[in-house]
Structure 1
Amino acid sequence: MSTQVDRATTAAQGAATRAGDHPVIEWGARLGYAASGVLHLVIAWLAVQIATGSGGQASQSGALAAVAHQPFGLFLLWVLAIGFALLAIWQVTELFTAREAFDKAKAGGKAVMYAALSYTSFVFALGGHTSSNKQTQDFTHTLMDAPAGRVLIGVVGLGVIGIALYHVYKGWKQKFLSDLQEHPGRWAVVAARVGYIGKGIALLAVGVLFIAAAFHHQVGKTTGLDGALKSLRDLLAGQAILIGVALGLAAYGIYSFARARYARV
């Protein structure tokens, strides 16, 4: 029985390796990283609008809605949807081929994230609309209604904070270089360091909002990235902080284009 399981596992890993090495999937993964770059640049622009009091919704859905209203926006939405879908597929192959549990968990989480981004992009490309803020609130409300719901929301908040701190660590220590097949150049390294740290700060604010929602039993405050950025704006010197985070998100977007070229896929 054990031998049969081992053979099945080996066969699955072999199939995943062949799929991950397919030129279409490799090209698609690079397209997905470029799509991530576009998304982060648009979110950074929306964050600046929030900082200056011009309104806007600095979330994935807000960014995609902004893209939809641009010239050639529909075409770009289809490109983003396809890129995120292929990147999600590549992450699934990584899930099967990774050896360490941490790497498997990371690949699985990214596969879900990129699949969700692909779905949202398809919705906008087809003329529909969705709200990341409402999805986050609905998710939090569902957890709140579950047994030990406030504890679950707190755990989610701690998980997001852990991811945020990992982003800061990865940027500060330049651990992102291990994701690349060769050195991307000084400008890309600077962009990556600023980008990972800036994105980490934004995610840290998201995690804090989840914990605050659990503590105060206020689901309405958990509106994901958009709510987190708006909470940063309300701090002392919040406008300057938010513009700094926006620059970090823009830097991450710029690095994503370099990653599309140099990623180890």
Structure 2
Amino acid sequence: MNPNNSASSAARAAQDSTAFRVLARVGYVVLGILHLLIGAIAISIATGGGGGDADQGGAMQQIQKSPAGAVLLWIIVIGLIALAIWQIAEAVVERDPDTKKKWGYRIKFLGTAAAYLAIAGTALVSALGGQSQSSESSQSFSARLLAAPAGVALLVLVGLIVGAIGIAFIVRGITRAFKKHLALPSGTARTGIIAFGVVGYIAKGIAVAVAGVLFVIAALTHDSETAGGLDAALRALAGLPFGAVILWTVGAGLVLYGLFCFARARYARM
């Protein structure tokens, strides 16, 4: 039996499972909750309220402190793992005869799955009673890279990749490319979901792109503490002229992206 056909068949079987589809949709709800929290923390920082770390780790800490926090964290872990497996299944299933496009889609889906698994890992640490500081992880990662041979070049490459991902989010928002993955309703609901998607994707893209820039700066200055991930990127925006307004706008955009994720849970093509 051809291993590729076997893997594709297994992926299709998983995608045909109603229970698995429900769990994957829960994963989108989870992403929505996390972005709502991150956006709210960013707005709090913009208005001088502190608010904690504006990243996945900070969001997990907020959930951990809430009533039934441990239960919610385990739901987050399960939902994100299911969503990651769904992305892996999408990468395995043969959909496009064009080899170049096929591998492009595979890289995209596998990269997205890796991101979801990383967030699930952060949630798992919190569910087990620990604390995961995303900014410290980014700084530790940067320090290890800088200590390696050709570390500066590698960290610059990481920054460029992260920046490219941010730009891809912005482009996806501007071009409304996300619509092809949704079975949208008609009327006002459709207009609202698309508007949330456009603003949300652009806001998230800006935050991710700035994080990429910080990795490059960390490499060129040999200062690993500069690379603090999403929280550092959002705080860097606050340091710009009219930074409070910019950060508030991006934070509000992340909140809208969270709301878009809720709509995505309902209308995603699965």
TM norm structure 1: 0.94
DSSP 3-state at the match of 2:117: helix
Q: CA deviation at 1:47?
A: 0.5
CA distance in 1: counterparts of 2:38 and 2:220, whole angstroms: 29
Contact preservation (8 Å) 1:25, 1:89: no
Q: Which residue of 101, 104, 129 corresponds with 2:103?
A: 101
Q: After alignment, is 175-184 or 144-153 more displaced? A: 175-184
- 1:73-103 CA-to-partner distances (Å, cap 9, x unmatched) read 2222121111111111111211211541111
Task: Could you list the structure 1 runs, at least 4 aligned residues long, displaced by more than 3 angstroms after superposition.
Answer: none
**Which residue number corresponds to residue 64 of structure 1?**
60
- 1:246 to partner: Cα distance: 0.2
Cα distance in 2, alignment partners of residues 32 and 72 from structure 1? 18
Match among 225, 237, 245 for residue 242 of structure 2: 237
- Equivalent residue number for residue 33 of structure 1: 28
Q: Distance in 2 between matches of 1:181 and 1:93?
A: 20
Indicate yes or no: 2:5 matched with 1:10: yes
**2:246 is equivalent to residue 249 of structure 1:** no
The answer as to whether partners of 2:199 and 2:257 remain within 8 angstroms in 1 is: yes
Aligned mates of 1:34, 1:171 — CA distance in 2: 20
The DSSP-based 3-state class of the residue aligned with 1:185 is: helix
Checking the alignment, whether the CA contact within 8 Å between 1:153 and 1:210 is kept in structure 2 is yes
Q: Distance in 2 between matches of 1:213 and 1:8?
A: 43
1:54 and 2:34 matched: no
Structure 2, unpaired ranges of 5+:
97-101
Per the alignment, residue 124 of structure 1 pairs with: 126
Indicate yes or no: 2:88 matched with 1:92: yes
Deviations 1:142-174 (A, max 9, x none): 211222111111111111111111111111111
Whole-Å separation in 2 of the counterparts to 1:22 and 1:70: 32
- 1:111-260 matches, within 5 Å, as 111-183=113-185, 185-260=190-265
Match for 1:150: what amino acid?
Answer: V
Structure 2 distance, partners of 1:34, 1:231, is 28
Spell out, residue by residue over 1:214-261, the C-alpha distance to the aligned partner (whole angstroms, 9 max, x if none).
111110110100001111101110000000000110110000000000
Q: Structure 1: which 5+ residue stretches go unaligned?
A: none
Q: Tell me what 1:42 maps to.
A: 37
Q: 1 CA distance for matches of 2:19 and 2:140? A: 36
Give the 3-state SS of the residue equivalent to 1:71 in structure 2.
coil
Q: Deviations over 1:189-218 (max 9, x none)?
A: 110000000111111110110111111111
Q: Does 1:77 align with 2:79?
A: no
C-alpha deviation, 1:48, in angstroms: 1.1
The answer on whether the counterparts of 2:184 and 2:190 sit within 8 Å (CA) in structure 1 is no
Contact conserved, 1:77 with 1:121, CA < 8 A, in 2? yes
Instruction: Write the distance in 2 (CA, Å) between the matches of 1:76 and 1:178.
Output: 31
SS in 2 for 1:147: coil
Q: What is the root-mean-square deviation of aligned Cα atoms in Å?
A: 1.3
**Counterpart contact for 1:68–1:77, Cα < 8 Å:** yes
**CA offset at residue 72 of structure 1?**
2.7
SS of 2:240 mapped into structure 1: coil
Aligned AA (2:162): V
